[in-house]
Amino acid sequence: MKNRANSSKRPSQSGDASPPAGFFPKWLNINVAIQDVGFFLVGLIAALVVGWIIFPAVLYSKQAQPINFNHALHLNPDKVDGIEGEKKEEKCSFCHEFREDGTFAGIPRLAKCTECHEDPGSPLGETPEEKDLMTRYVATDQQIPWLVYSKQPDCVYFSHIAHVNMGKIACDTCHGDFAGNEKLPLYLENRLTGYSINIWGKRISGFYWNKKPSDRMKMDDCAECHTQMGQEQNNACFVCHK
Ligand code: HEC
Ligand code: HEC
Ligand code: HEC
Ligand code: HEC
Ligand code: HEC
């Protein structure tokens, strides 16, 4: 320690970047301070790499969807005829409809697909994806076990009709442009909680410059929109946890 302290007082001969003697007060041992800052930065960077890159990579496991479903293709009237509705959101309700009692049907059952994909012997197109649909599900009359990206834990009560019809909130606000997808996004399951990355969001830090509801859907995110839309009365525990 003593030696270092001495050497920092000597004016630098080799012209390196150490500051000139006398510039900093004597009690501040500048070389040691620079070293400490250096160690701190190395430690900080290592912690950030572990926390933001390694931890998320280990935390999530990839799960395959049963088959691909191409939203963009089915919503293109030049390719698929018979999805009723003028505007985009009317087309959604051909498959994602509200039942008479106001409950949301969610992901359509196989019967919706077989309105068009009815005969395993004569597919509508020529792709291997459709063949897969025909042989594995239509021919055997089995439901397709889709994984739901936005699935909340069972203790959470969420109703689409309140948000879509009464709140007049567009599907894209919460789900992003999901219906523009040709390929299903990768489903990443959180090993600790069992639900998908869409709930916690892609950024483990939880920090976004301009956060949208479609970025993540934790309890605070639901409440944030309620507050913004003047719906504070819906931020009482029992409203979302019945
Ligand atoms: C021909 C039927 C069909 C139509 C029309 C349709 N969808 Fe879908 N949708 C599906 C199927 C099947 C799935 C399940 C597979 C998947 O995740 O893509 C799905 C899944 C979704 C999901 C994923 C939910 C989750 O969290 O996993 C969203 C969001 C969605 N659709 C939005 C829309 C919107 C918005 C429209 C209208 C612009 C629309 N869909 C039109 C069949 C359809
Ligand atoms: C209104 C009729 C209609 C409905 C309902 C429908 N499809 Fe299709 N689907 C088509 C047509 C037509 C094609 C072929 C388009 C082409 O290849 O040009 C197609 C193609 C496909 C393909 C191959 C897509 C690709 O990327 O090559 C798959 C898989 C598929 N549909 C799955 C489904 C599933 C699952 C459902 C039920 C949720 C469904 N379809 C509902 C008309 C329909
Ligand atoms: C205010 C945000 C919000 C809006 C707006 C919204 N959703 Fe959702 N959606 C959610 C949440 C949250 C879930 C998960 C619900 C749960 O697991 O209880 C979900 C689930 C779904 C699912 C999967 C349901 C299942 O079978 O489990 C589909 C499909 C879906 N939404 C489609 C749509 C469509 C289509 C629209 C527009 C008509 C829409 N959503 C509007 C937030 C929203
Ligand atoms: C983009 C804004 C937005 C987001 C995100 C949102 N909400 Fe809401 N929520 C609303 C609005 C607006 C209403 C009031 C609708 C009305 O009654 O007019 C509402 C009402 C509710 C209600 C009371 C109506 C009912 O069905 O009893 C519940 C419960 C609720 N939200 C749960 C949730 C949960 C759970 C989430 C997150 C998974 C969520 N909301 C995310 C805007 C939002
Ligand atoms: C606006 C809707 C909303 C309100 C209000 C709300 N919660 Fe939640 N809560 C959620 C959602 C969505 C989740 C699941 C996502 C998450 O873990 O953040 C959740 C998760 C939880 C969990 C973790 C359960 C699990 O299985 O992971 C607890 C505990 C909880 N809430 C307690 C409360 C308490 C206590 C209050 C009142 C102070 C409250 N919540 C108010 C929406 C809400």
Structure token digits, residue 104 = 């949301």
Q: What is the structure's pLDDT at 53? A: 79
Q: What is the mean pLDDT of residues 162-180?
A: 96
Give the domain ranges of the chain: 61-107+146-240
Cβ of 229 closer than 6 Å to ligand 4, yes or no, is: yes
Q: Which residues make beta-bridge pairs with 85? A: none
Q: What value, to the nearest 5°, has the Cα angle with vertex 209 and ends 207 and 212?
A: 85
Q: Select the more confidently predicted residue: 43 or 202.
A: 43
> Is the predicted pLDDT of residue 20 greater than 80, yes or no?
no
Identify which ligand lies nearest to the alpha carbon of 73. 2
Q: What b-and-e string marks burial along 153-192, b requiring 16 or more CB atoms within 10 Å of the CB? A: eeeeeeebeebbeeeebebbebebebbeeeebeebbbeee
Backbone angles phi, psi at 189, to 5 degrees: -100, 130
Shortest-distance ligand to the CA of residue 219: 5
Asked whether 239 lines ligand 4 (CB < 6 A), one says yes
Residue (of 171, 167, 187) closest to 179 by Cα position: 171
Q: What is the DSSP secondary-structure string of 170-183?
A: -HHHHH-SGGG-SS
What does residue 225 show for φ and ψ, rounded to 5 degrees?
-70, -40
What H or E segment, with its residue span, contains residue 38?
A: helix 30-49
| Distance between Cα 214 and ligand 3 center (Å) | 11
pLDDT in tens, 63-82: 999 999 999 999 999 999 98
Q: Counting ligands in written order, which one lies closest to the CA of residue 226? A: 4
Q: pLDDT value at position 239?
A: 97
Q: How far is the CA of 107 from the centre of ligand 1 (A)?
A: 6
Indicate whether 235 pLDDT > 90: yes
Q: Residue 91's pLDDT is what?
A: 94
CA of 157 to the centre of ligand 5 (A): 10
Question: Which among 158, 160, 214, 226 is the best mutation to test ligand 4's pocket, defined by most ligand atoms within 8 Å of the CB?
Answer: 226
For a ligand 3 pocket test, name from 98, 175, 198, 214 the mutation site with the most ligand atoms within 8 angstroms of its C-beta: 175
pLDDT of residue 83: 92
Which own/partner pairs from 226-233 qualify as long-range (CB within 8 Å, at least 24 positions apart)?
229/167
Reply yes or no on whether the pLDDT at 23 is more than 80.
no
Whole-structure pTM over 0.85, yes or no?
A: yes
Name the token pair of 87.
């505007």
Closest CA to 72 of 198, 186, 178: 178
State the pLDDT at residue 209: 84
Residue 14 has pLDDT above 70, yes or no: no
The predicted model gives 210-218 an average pLDDT of 92
